[in-house]
Amino acid sequence: MNSVSVRSLLVRGMLAGLAAGVLALVVAYLLGEPHVDAAIGFEEAHAHSHGDGEVELVSRSLQSTLGLATGILLYGLAFGGIAGLAFCFALGRIGRFGPRATAALLSGAGLVAVYVVPFLKYPANPPSVGEPDTIGRRTTLYFLMMVLSVLLAVAATILGRRLAPSLGNWNATAVAIVGFVAAVGVAYAVLPVVDEVPEDFPASLLWQFRLSALAIQVTLWSGFGLLFGHLAERLLNPAPATAPAARAAAV
């Protein structure tokens, strides 16, 4: 793949990531923010009962609108650029798939490896859940699980490709998936458990917040896969010119 195509795919990846970010922003505002407000209300009520309220440096209305939009859209833009470069590397190396199928597979695998696997070990928590003194440790553990998941996914892909000539594509894929799941299970068992949810925190609110966080990521990744696959297909496999257009171009 030449540098022009890589640059074009990078730009299209960023545009697709930005568009997917808009979709994720809608989901975050409609589904996620009500649960964040409820969690903040719980935290404030708990703080007032202990007489240790804090001064609000940034208004909640600004956080839930401009702050939310800025964070998600910038994340979508950067995410799209990185995913576009990953697509350039993956195209033709993970099987005989076209641009649309490669983008869909890459998005699905990325969602599982980058978000779902770390999420199942260290799920997202709303405000008022977690001790402030342990935020650095919790963040480190989460990103460690993410890195391990991505490396294990890459290793499983390589394993499947190497086993395909001898076992066939179906069996090789099954072995690679089983190996990935087993390795992730070992990582789950080795890494420490983090459970800092207050006993009086509403279980239904915690569950709804985590589902909304998952929905945001699913929207982002699936939206990117569909949009970028379409853009990449048009770039790499342009539609043939119609007969009248071809004659006009020849003239």
pLDDT digits (tens, 9 = 90+) for 212-240: 999 999 999 999 999 999 999 988 887 66
* CB burial of residue 241 (10 Å; 0-12, 13-18, 19+): exposed
Task: Give me the pLDDT at residue 197, please.
Answer: 82
| Domain spans of the chain, in order of start | 1-116+198-237, 130-196
Residue 21 predicted with pLDDT over 90: yes
Rounded to a whole number, what is the distance in angstroms from the first to the last CA of the chain? 32
Phi then psi for residue 157, to 5 deg, are -65, -45
Which residue did the predictor score with more confidence, 232 or 48? 232
pLDDT digits (tens, 9 = 90+) for 162-182: 998 899 888 999 999 999 999
Task: Give me the pLDDT at residue 131, please.
Answer: 75
* CB burial of residue 197 (10 Å; 0-12, 13-18, 19+): middle
Task: Give me the pLDDT at residue 96, please.
Answer: 79
Task: Give me the pLDDT at residue 84, please.
Answer: 92
Phi then psi for residue 92, to 5 deg, are 85, -10
pTM recorded for the entire structure? 0.84
